[in-house]
Amino acid sequence: MNMNNSSKTQYVENLEPGGYMYFFENQVPATITTDGGSTLTISSQHARDGQQSLQWLFTQGSRLILNQEVGFQPQADEATPHTFLTWLYHAEPLDEQLTFHFGQGEAVNASFSISLAFSGWRGIAVPFRDMQGEAIEGMDRLTIIAPESAGQLLFDQIILSIPVDHRWPTPDYVVPFINPAVNTGPNKNWMAVLMYDQMLREHYDDFNFTLPFDDTSGDTAILYKNFDRHLAVNSSSTISQEKIDANLAKYTQFMLRDNPDGSITGKPLDHPKRQNFMRVDGILSPESLALLTDTINISVLGKALLETAKFLRTDSLSAENRRQLEARFIDGSRYAFEQGWQGGSGYQIVSHVGYQTRELFDAWFIGRRVLAQRGWLASAQQAMMWFSATGRIYEADETIIDSNVDILNTQLQWMIKSFLLLPEITVREALLTQLQSWLSKTLLASDGVGGGFKPEGSVFHHCQHYPAYGKDAFNGLGVAIYGLSGSPFRLSQAAHQRAKEVLLKMRIYTKETHIPLPLSGRHPDDKQVISAAPYQWMARAGSPDGTQTVDRELAAAYAYLANKPDFEGIPAESEPVGAWAMNYASMAVQRGRSAVLADKSWLVIARGFSRYLVGNETYEANNLYGRYLQYGHVAIEPADYSLRAFSHDGWNWSRYPGTTAIQLPNDQLIATLHQLPGAGIEEMLLSTETYSGATTLGDESSLFAVKLHGHAKYQQQSFRARKSCFIFANRIIALGSAIDNRDTEHHTETTLFQHKVPAGEVVEVNGEAINSIGTHLSLQGETRFKDPAGNRYFIPAGQQVRFSYDNQASNHEDDGTPTQGLFATAVIDHGKAPQQQSYEYAVVIEASGSSKPDYQVLRQDVSAHIVRDGVTGTEGYAFFSPVAGLTETLIIGSDSPAMVLANQLNAQEMHLSIVNPDLALYRGQDPDQIDANGDQVEVSIYSRPWGSNLSKIQVTQILIAGSWSLAEPYSAVTLVRQQNNSLLTIETRDARPEYIRLLKI
């Protein structure tokens, strides 16, 4: 065997905590040999880390042998199977294969072969479970067998066997056989790039790049103009020499160098998610981790190229500036291609890569003419098309059951733009026509808890309403809709209308672009905001029916959100007012006009969760204490948003306003995370209950109610409660009943408010102004508060109320570091291990006086909460179970759990809203969630077999006092007289309320 090594000293390199790994920053390791006249040297021509790689000049059929413990361990955890990883550099594509054998000595236990039909760097991550044969513990050799012709390969980052998240290894044309589960997994939008490319190739095996590129002719010409306008391409702008010099200087960091063979090299390019496996404890030493992560994020290169591309589209450049900018633009693009950012490259792991490639792809779109002139258009187009997974436009109609907001945010625009980089106009137009059909269907699909846009306005991601992702979805989708507008490829009217309605709903449940705490997902940090930009671009896309060149509703909303008096001549709207039930979000939303601030409105959100909808999302570094976030959370966002209650530092995570919860210190509240099948390391807990949701009546009445059940994961299965929240104009009546648990160590509380008071803001307690730090009160008689936002709370006597005005110590929701802050807090204390406890309180928002609101509690027990508003006469019914025989109420009973709001306007007319809040995605029990003791088991929401089920029809019968008739026909409602009363039968689906008008007979 021959080792070409100038040093006399040979040694084992890089025995890392996770096993043997080779990074080749020194000599050829003694454990690596070759035969058959092949040679090994250390090369500095290209590297994937540091400065060097291993060069193998191979002869036909020769072998590269690595003699050391492979480190394979039988699959103890199917979520992180042992995986082999490496990077290979090949100068020119070769239609042959390279074979890898793992075994003991000469025996072969596991093997695989890869295609060498590539150039530049390719990263592969091959789980041993996907190899031929069966890997065994104790393997001590890797043999790499050369193809049937001589050549040269470079290797770097050879990692023999480490655990890698099963979702990450990415199949591509080099290793098409690995990880087939990505094609059906929840992350297929990122990971199934090969499958989607193969879909595309069934229709277009190849593309013709020999034709001249034309972006000014045909039906697509307007698309280039639209996207260029969005990207602020301006041919008449003047770029200062200072800006040009600064842009050119940005390329220094990439350390670009041309090689004698015509290739280019530079500092390794990467993206953050690919490096996650390296950062797991026990894999790399700190020194090696620093070496492997000393890279340039592809987004950094993309931003430099994007600025260069914009400069190149101006007409004011000098010849020398244009020459230098073009040279940098082409060299930077070649550098990306050489580093593996090519069509067909899986880059080992491409999860979430769309967040990092947007600037790069926009740079190539803007610089399309330069790329075409210099012969690099095909490379750019193929890379953009591959990483954007554009072949998904050929998904079969029956498989389109949801949409993915990550696609809308990080891939959709560049799917379109990749087609626009094709020179052949007829092919370009055919693909855009197919995209139009696919996108129009996708935006209308969102089955079960699948992603996308629900008819009531929720935006689903991670199987839940998730505004933080929804806002980003529209950042991409809004531009895509605008880009396609004015052309034959524009969105269908129905899909455009759905997108518009969902976007408009987003400014309903946010306040001055801020996402309220109950909707914060795994980011309860008061930093999440929506953008006004999607409203701008969708307004410019025109109305869904095509009759308006500027959509007036969206234009008015944009002006309001952007703090402009008008947009495109359309005045800004005032802040919205009204009431909305969003039962795929399990919440009620109500907004009322402020009596204090003109054109402003306050916002109330009441939210719960159920056996279909998760109550929290917690990651290793996000929302560590968020278990109670949706335990009947009632958030009041004031018209003056600066007076909001929440502040992160010092926040007591057991005391979200309106919630009823067992009070735990943070060291007991902190989540315990596991990696469940089909998921990452996270927690997303479900309830066992089906009852959680809302209904509304008119613009000023809402009812929210929930059955709470604690999770056995934290030994809280004994915790139960019935909760309701009735909102009549600016009056809230909150009730609780059947509050039970067996926790004898911790108090159970219902939180009235927890309000930041950083500047010593005053709280009124029974008429007394209090802002003295260290105040702690125990109150049992009738109690009244006024919080710093001007809301008054009224708590009837007979309840144990506790109030504090003091510094609070807590922990950061991301990393648990200590925090502190000054808060005023009021709670109803139900004591330890409460049994059949209850509560009642009322709130007047922006109270102008001190009078108690006028209402009656007609029933409050385990079966029902019933309230009558004294101002409007509206009655609200939270039927937790069937109820009959009610008297002196508009409703006599219900045959099933339901929510009803009823208002008899006069002797002749009654208005009703009725809903069964059960989404009914499945019947009976989910057997995976129940153990032998009947207790709930933690499961991944992503693995639920019912996750894409359609909601089933729920039939509810409501008996109404008196003889009534339907004022008009209703498709889902029938009425029959039952003696002197009226029996309504209502069919609801998707927990969508039915609104009914009755006339007296």
Q: Provide the residue type at 589 as one letter.
A: V
Instruction: List, by residue number, the catalytic residues.
Output: 352, 462, 469
- Dihedral over Cα of 888, 889, 895, 898: its sign: negative
User: Residue 299 and residue 307: Cα distance in Å, rounded?
Assistant: 12
Per the CB < 8 A criterion, the answer to whether 106 and 151 are in contact is no
**How far apart, in Å, are the Cα atoms of 532 and each of 109, 115, 498, 639, 874?**
58, 47, 18, 19, 37
826 DSSP β-pair partners: 753, 803
Report the CATH number that the domain containing residue 277 is assigned in CATH.
1.50.10.100
Q: Is residue 382 part of a domain?
A: yes
User: Residue 944 and residue 533: Cα distance in Å, rounded?
Assistant: 36
Report the CATH number that the domain containing residue 894 is assigned in CATH.
2.70.98.10
**pTM assigned to the model:** 0.94
Residue ranges of the annotated binding site for Ca(2+) are 49, 156
Question: Could you tell me the two tokens for 992?
Answer: 């969508």
Per the CB < 8 A criterion, the answer to whether 905 and 697 are in contact is no
The answer to which of 75-89, 458-472, 518-532, 642-656 has the lowest mean pLDDT is 75-89
pLDDT higher than threshold 90 for residue 597: yes
The label of the residue with tokens 């160098």 reads: 257
How many percent of the chain have pLDDT more than 70? 98
Per the CB < 8 A criterion, the answer to whether 207 and 428 are in contact is no
User: Residue 200 and residue 181: Cα distance in Å, rounded?
Assistant: 20
Per the CB < 8 A criterion, the answer to whether 17 and 125 are in contact is no
Tens digits of residue pLDDT in 820-834? 999 999 999 999 999
How many Cβ atoms from other residues are within 10 Å of residue 39's Cβ? 17
| Residue 958 and residue 826 in one domain | yes
Q: Provide the residue type at 168 as one letter.
A: W
How many Cβ atoms from other residues are within 10 Å of residue 577's Cβ? 16
| Residue 174 and residue 246 in one domain | no
Average pLDDT (230-236) is: 97
Q: Which residue, 134, 153, 180, sits at the end of a domain?
A: 180
| Residue 152 and residue 89 in one domain | yes
**How far apart, in Å, are the Cα atoms of 914 and each of 693, 703, 809, 898, 997?**
12, 10, 44, 7, 11
Query: How far does Cα 988 stand from its chain's mean position?
Result: 29
Report the CATH number that the domain containing residue 34 is assigned in CATH.
2.60.120.430
Residue 672 sits in which domain range? 584-814+822-1000
Tens digits of residue pLDDT in 946-973? 999 999 999 999 999 999 999 999 999 9
pLDDT higher than threshold 80 for residue 2: no
pLDDT of residue 678: 78
CA atoms within 13 A on the CB side of 26: 11
Tens digits of residue pLDDT in 121-169? 999 999 999 999 999 999 999 999 999 999 999 999 999 999 999 999 9
Question: Could you tell me the two tokens for 605?
Answer: 């959100």
Helix (H, G, I), strand (E, B) or coil at 268: coil
Question: Could you tell me the two tokens for 835?
Answer: 């049994």
Using 50, 70 and 90 to split pLDDT, how confident is the model at 13?
low
User: Residue 3 and residue 898: Cα distance in Å, rounded?
Assistant: 79
Per the CB < 8 A criterion, the answer to whether 659 and 555 are in contact is no
Average pLDDT (9-18) is: 65
| Residue 770 and residue 916 in one domain | yes
The label of the residue with tokens 């003047």 reads: 238
How many percent of the chain have pLDDT more than 90? 97
Q: Is residue 554 part of a domain?
A: no
Per the CB < 8 A criterion, the answer to whether 178 and 84 are in contact is no
Using 50, 70 and 90 to split pLDDT, how confident is the model at 4?
very low
Per the CB < 8 A criterion, the answer to whether 716 and 741 are in contact is yes
pLDDT of residue 598: 87
Q: Which residue, 360, 376, 410, sits at the end of a domain?
A: 410
The label of the residue with tokens 């513990």 reads: 137
pLDDT of residue 529: 97
pLDDT higher than threshold 80 for residue 1: no
pLDDT of residue 74: 87
Question: Could you tell me the two tokens for 652?
Answer: 């007591």
Q: Is residue 888 part of a domain?
A: yes
Q: Please report which helix (H) or strand (E) contains residue 330, including its range.
A: helix 319-338
Residue (of 479, 526, 17) closest to 285 by Cα position: 17
The label of the residue with tokens 């990393």 reads: 815
Which DSSP state fits 923?
S
| Residue 235 and residue 131 in one domain | no
pLDDT of residue 79: 86
The label of the residue with tokens 């359609």 reads: 950
User: Residue 180 and residue 191: Cα distance in Å, rounded?
Assistant: 10
pLDDT higher than threshold 80 for residue 14: no
Can you spell out the DSSP letters for 210-246?
Answer: SSPP-SSSSTTHHHHHHHHHHTT--TT----HHHHHH
Residue (of 695, 724, 726, 735) closest to 956 by Cα position: 695
pLDDT higher than threshold 80 for residue 12: no
- Dihedral over Cα of 161, 166, 168, 172: its sign: positive
| Average pLDDT in the chain | 96
Torsion angle of C-alpha atoms 865, 868, 869, 870, degrees rounded to 10: -140
User: Residue 341 and residue 121: Cα distance in Å, rounded?
Assistant: 9
| 3-state secondary structure string across 612-669 | CCCCCCEECCECCCCCCCCCCEEEEECCCHHHCCCCCCCCCCCCCCCCEEECCCHHHH
Q: Is residue 210 part of a domain?
A: no
Q: Is residue 558 part of a domain?
A: no
Per the CB < 8 A criterion, the answer to whether 675 and 643 are in contact is no
Torsion angle of C-alpha atoms 760, 766, 768, 771, degrees rounded to 10: -20
Per the CB < 8 A criterion, the answer to whether 551 and 424 are in contact is no
What's the Rg (C-alpha) of the chain?
32
Can you spell out the DSSP letters for 53-92?
Answer: EEEEEE-TT-EEEEES-------S-TTS-EEEEEEEEESS
Burial bucket for residue 487 (CB in 10 Å: 0-12, 13-18, 19+)? middle
The label of the residue with tokens 């009425």 reads: 975
Q: Provide the residue type at 994 as one letter.
A: E
Which DSSP state fits 569?
T
**How far apart, in Å, are the Cα atoms of 937 and each of 100, 684, 736?**
42, 12, 26
Per the CB < 8 A criterion, the answer to whether 948 and 448 are in contact is yes
The answer to which of 20-24, 72-76, 613-617, 780-784 has the lowest mean pLDDT is 72-76
Residue 111 phi, psi dihedral angles, 5° rounding: -155, 165
Average pLDDT (361-372) is: 98
User: Residue 265 and residue 267: Cα distance in Å, rounded?
Assistant: 7
Q: Is residue 529 part of a domain?
A: no
Tens digits of residue pLDDT in 414-423? 999 999 999 9
| Residue 143 and residue 240 in one domain | no
User: Residue 981 and residue 181: Cα distance in Å, rounded?
Assistant: 58
| Residue 222 and residue 171 in one domain | no
| Residue 140 and residue 254 in one domain | no
Question: Could you tell me which residues come within 8 angstroms of residue 689 by beta carbon, excluding any fewer than 6 positions away?
Answer: 610, 611, 706, 707, 708, 709
| Residue 167 and residue 219 in one domain | no
Q: Which residue, 388, 410, 432, sits at the end of a domain?
A: 410
- Dihedral over Cα of 310, 315, 320, 321: its sign: negative
Q: Please report which helix (H) or strand (E) contains residue 592, including its range.
A: strand 587-593
Question: Could you tell me the two tokens for 958?
Answer: 């409501």
Torsion angle of C-alpha atoms 387, 393, 397, 399, degrees rounded to 10: 0
Q: Please report which helix (H) or strand (E) contains residue 888, including its range.
A: none
User: Residue 582 and residue 726: Cα distance in Å, rounded?
Assistant: 15
User: Residue 79 and residue 75: Cα distance in Å, rounded?
Assistant: 9
DSSP3 helix / strand / coil % (the chain, rounded to 5): 25, 30, 45
Strand ranges for 833-969 from DSSP E? 837-844, 855-860, 864-869, 875-879, 891-894, 898-906, 909-915, 954-960, 964-966
Tens digits of residue pLDDT in 342-359? 999 999 999 999 999 999
User: Residue 22 and residue 307: Cα distance in Å, rounded?
Assistant: 37
The label of the residue with tokens 């199917």 reads: 78
| Residue 136 and residue 239 in one domain | no
| Residue 173 and residue 225 in one domain | no
| Residue 614 and residue 686 in one domain | yes
Question: Could you tell me the two tokens for 118?
Answer: 């590539």
Q: Is residue 6 part of a domain?
A: no
Helix (H, G, I), strand (E, B) or coil at 922: coil
Long-range contacts of 925-931 (CB under 8 A, 24+ apart): 926/611, 929/686, 929/688, 931/712
pLDDT of residue 676: 87
Count of the separate structural domains present in the chain: 3
pLDDT of residue 510: 98
Q: Is residue 514 part of a domain?
A: no
